[in-house]
Structure formats: C-alpha cells, structure tokens
Structure 1
Amino acid sequence: MPSIHRPLPHLLSDARRWFEEGLLATLEASGTAPVSAPQLQLFAVLDDPGTTVSELARRMGVTRQTAHQAVHGLIAAGLLEQVPDPASARQRLIRRTPEGRRVHREAVLVLERLEAQLAARIGREAVDALRAALEAPWGEPPGTA
C-alpha cells in the first residue's frame, strides 16, 4: 500500500488544531468563558497596550468584519475592552481586561504544558527541530516579491 504524503500546509494545520483543541479544552475545564478558535487567534496577536481592529484583521489574515465579530464576542465575555487610541481620535484600541490578562497568562502556561506533552510523545529533539524550522526566516512567498 503506497504511503500518502500529505502536503505540509495540511500537517501544519493539524498541528495548530492539536494545540488549539488542547488549549480550549483546558480553559473550558478551568471555568474560563468559552471562546472559539478565531477568538483564540485574535487573543494571541493582540499587543498589550492595545491594537486596532484593522491591524488585528491583518495579523489574523481575515476580513475586518471577521475580526470585529471576534472582538465583540471577547468583549461580551469580559476578556477585552475598547479604549480611545491616543494616536488617533478616530480609532479605538482593543486590549485585554484584567480578566483577559489573567486568562492570557493561564493560556501561556497551558501552551507550555502542551509543548512539554508533545516533547514527551515525539521527543525533545523533534520539538526543538520543529521550532527552529518554524522560527527560521523563510522570506517572501514565491511570486509575491
């Protein structure tokens, strides 16, 4: 039977989903307000002093409307707030509330534990090699430069 060589983007997507599902399950078990995977992604790309919705959308690779919906879900959950942008009277910054900062710290610890579990399963050397490959500069995608 021939082996199926899955494309690397599919493997990376599966790996991301493994971390997301572990993080979401752990946060839910701890009583944290339920969040979706897109909301998790938004939370991860948010700067501590605050970030505009447009910049969040760019970082997430989604439309402004999609980012806006994620923001409002997290505001309703008490994890984010909107504040005036001191650099622009027309814009507002999105930032974590005190509860959002607590949940963010908890999420960072959960991700560290998930990485340790992965290292126990596939080996520390494999995890370190994966991290090194993903942190290496890849340059612009072909056809975009």
Structure 2
Amino acid sequence: MQSTRRNLPQLLGDARRWFEEGLLAALEAAGATPVSPTQAQLFAVLDDQGTTVSELARRMGVTRQTAHQAVHGLVATGLLQQVPDPASARQRLIRRTSEGERAHRQAGIILDRLEAQLAERIGQEAVDALRATLETPWGRPPSPSSE
C-alpha cells in the first residue's frame, strides 16, 4: 500500500502556489499589468537598490536564461529597468521603475490580505506558528557526508 502522506517540499510548494495564485488573481482583478508566476517571483527577490540577473537567477533557483527572459518581459511592460552597476562596468542592475514600485506596494497589500484570509481559515495561532517556524534559521542543507 502506497502512502498518501505528502512530503514537506510538496506541501510548501502548494502553500506557495496558494499565495501566488491569489496574488495574481487579485492583481488581474485590479487591472494591473499581467505577470507570470516567474515574473512575480522575480519581483519578490529583487533588492530595492537593484540586483544582477545572475543573482536573481540564483535566488529564484532558475537558470540565468530564465531570469533574463523574465526580466526582459518586465522591462517591456515598464515595471523594471536596467541600469549600469556602479561596482562593475560589465554588469547591469535590474531595478523597479516608479510603476514597478507602485505594483510592488500593491502586491504587498494583497499578500497581507491573503495572510489575513489564511488566518481566518486556519486560525491566527497557526499562521503565527507557521511564520515563526519558517523564519527560524535552518542552517545549510546537510551534505551527503553528514548523514
């Protein structure tokens, strides 16, 4: 008999998709510029002062090409811009435009609402416990030699 118990990475992925789908639906309902889940994730890992495409790819866990495509889509919509990196003549930083900043603030408000809706469904105590657990440092992933 096969176990129906799902592993933690699957559950975390489902939780992330719940927020992502709620965010994208709310943005669409508000008439915001449509973005893909990958583009929304890119926005979430972008530093206020700007981030290189390579660093965005690392933070998102995607290839540099995937991050580059997401950036170019968002640049085309006017939500992001590329500017010279003062630390490197060869690199460019990706930053939010003023419209991108507005969209980022709007997304933050929507995510707060989604978290409040989650608290209504599962209880504030459960949401607080989930947040505390996920904010606790886990350390580096174990290496095969440490098993």
TM range (shorter): over 0.9
Cα offsets for 1:6-28 (capped at 9, x unmatched): 11111100000000000000001
Question: Which residues in structure 2 correspond to 1:123-138 (within 5 Å)?
Answer: 123-138=123-138
* Alignment deviations for residues 88-131 of structure 1 (CA, whole Å, 9 cap, x no partner): 11111000000000000000000000000000000000000001
Secondary structure in 2 matching 1:57: helix
User: SS where residue 140 of structure 1 aligns?
Assistant: coil
Identity, in percent, stands at 77
Q: What SS is found at the alignment partner of 2:82?
A: strand
Give 1:49 deviation, angstroms.
1.1
1:47 match: 47
Q: Secondary structure at the match of 2:106?
A: helix
| CA distance in 2 between partners of 1:5 and 1:127 (Å) | 22
Q: Give the partner amino acid of 1:44.
A: A
CA distance in 1, matches of 2:98, 2:8: 38
1:91 aligns with 2:91: yes
Equivalent pairs, count: 144
SS at match of 2:141: coil
The DSSP-based 3-state class of the residue aligned with 1:115 is helix
Distance 1:75 1:91 in 2: 16
Q: Counterpart in 1 of 2:22?
A: 22
> TM-score when scaled to structure 2?
0.94
Unaligned runs of 5+ in 1: none
1:4, distance to aligned residue in structure 2 (A): 2.2
User: 1:1-145, aligned counterparts within 5 Å?
Assistant: 4-143=4-143
* C-alpha distance in 2 between matches for 1:14 and 1:61: 17
The letter for the 2-side match of 1:11 is L
Distance 1:109 1:125 in 2: 21
SS of residue in 1 equivalent to 2:51: coil
Q: CA deviation at 1:3?
A: 7.4
Q: Shift in Å at residue 71 of structure 1?
A: 0.2
Stretches of structure 2 that go unaligned for 5 or more consecutive residues are: none
The normalised TM-score by structure 1 is 0.96
